[in-house]
């Protein structure tokens, strides 16, 4: 079996996405710490692995792979026999659509703005930019409602089986649900609320996101 190393910090949502898949597949792996709040991700040593200075990066038997969509696709094939990608073409397209919505719209509004401003900035002695938070609510709500319209929502986003889409959205909800904006953003997403109540209790979620 290949030796799998994940570079990144356990608090990163995208690192959590990769680790959720690995835990659900019961795969062995090492996590090598690369901090994102102390500049480690910006070091020349790390940029040699990932030129964008983002986490995670995966190393498998000396091969480096970055970008979470590529990493999860690869790992799903090699450690999970494609268990986390639906075989039905439309369901698979829905999974990719949800992943792209997280990448392109949800992460920036929910994490880069709301979560950072509400949970990280005050924790580091700064003052929340209330205008930035207020302006991020509408795009976050649009993203949540778009996913709501694509999801089955019970028990998992695409139905009876966990997929990579769940691994993308769970880490976003973990943090967003700790902010006062969560209720407004999910006010019109009852299926996502039900989904969240269920996936929140998964053992892998407790292991990776605690
Ligand atoms: N497109 C990248 C995004 C990864 C990403 O944004 N990671 C964040 C942590 S969740 C990061 O490395 N942030 C550090 C920074 O931007 O300096 C992927 O899919 O892996």
Do 135 and 171 sit in the same domain of this protein? Answer: yes
Is the same domain home to 9 and 60?
yes
Q: Which domain holds residue 128?
A: 89-202
Cα maximum dimension of the chain: 50
Q: Which residues pair with 57 in a beta bridge?
A: 7, 66
pLDDT digits (tens, 9 = 90+) for 75-131: 999 999 999 999 999 999 999 999 999 999 999 999 999 999 999 999 999 999 999
Pocket test for ligand 1, best of 6, 14, 169 (most atoms within 8 A of CB): 14
Q: Whose CA is nearest to atom 6 of ligand 1?
A: 54
CB of 50 within 6 A of ligand 1: the answer is: no
- CA-CA distance, 144 to 142, in Å (whole number)? 6
For the chain, the domain total comes to 2
pTM of the entire predicted model? 0.98
Q: Give the CATH number of the domain where residue 10 resides.
A: 3.40.30.10
Question: Taking a C-beta distance cutoff of 8 angstroms, is the pair 143, 79 a contact?
Answer: no
Per-residue pLDDT band at 46 (split at 50, 70, 90): very high
164 lines ligand 1 (CB under 6 A): no
121 and 138 part of one domain: yes
Residues 62, 97 within the same domain: no
Q: Is the CB of 148 under 6 A from ligand 1?
A: no
Same domain, yes or no, for 52 and 102? Answer: no
Nearest CA to ligand 1 atom 11: 54
Q: How would DSSP label each residue in 40-83?
A: GGGSHHHHTT-TT--S-EEEETTEEEESHHHHHHHHHHHHHTTT
Q: What is the pLDDT of residues 131-179, one digit of tens each?
A: 999 999 999 999 999 999 999 888 999 999 999 999 999 999 999 999 9
Distance CA 110, CA 89 (A): 29
pLDDT tens for 9-19 read 999 999 999 99
Mutate-to-test residue for ligand 1 from 10, 40, 55, highest number of ligand atoms within 8 A of CB: 55
Same domain, 16 and 103: no
CA 5 / ligand 1 centre spacing (Å): 17
Residue 73 covered by a domain: yes
User: Does residue 1 have a pLDDT over 70?
Assistant: no
Tell me, yes or no, whether 209 lies in a domain. no
Last residue of a domain, one of 57, 80, 103: 80
Residues 98 and 17 in one domain: no
Q: Is residue 207 part of a domain?
A: no
169 CA from centroid of ligand 1 (Å): 15
Tell me, what CATH number does 190's domain have? Answer: 1.20.1050.10
């Amino acid at each position: 079996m290949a030796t799998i190393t994940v570079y990144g910090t356990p608090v990163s949502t995208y690192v959590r996405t990769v680790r959720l898949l690995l835990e659900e597949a019961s795969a062995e792996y090492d996590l090598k710490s690369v901090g994102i709040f102390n500049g480690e991700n910006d070091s020349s040593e790390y940029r040699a692995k990932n030129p964008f200075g983002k986490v995670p990066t995966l190393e498998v038997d000396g091969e480096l792979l970055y970008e979470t969509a590529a990493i999860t696709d690869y790992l799903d094939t090699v450690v999970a026999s494609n268990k986390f990608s639906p075989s039905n073409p439309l369901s698979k397209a829905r999974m990719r659509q949800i992943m792209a919505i997280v990448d392109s719209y949800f992460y920036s509004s929910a994490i880069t703005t709301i979560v950072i401003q509400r949970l990280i900035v005050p924790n580091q002695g700064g003052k929340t930019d209330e205008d930035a938070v207020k302006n991020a609510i509408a795009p976050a709500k649009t993203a949540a409602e778009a996913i709501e319209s694509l999801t089955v929502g019970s028990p998992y986003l695409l139905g009876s089986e966990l997929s990579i889409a769940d691994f993308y959205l769970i880490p976003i909800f973990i943090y967003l649900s700790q902010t006062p904006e969560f209720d407004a953003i999910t006010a019109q997403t009852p299926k996502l609320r039900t989904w969240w109540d269920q996936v929140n209790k998964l053992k892998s979620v407790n292991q990776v996101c605690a």
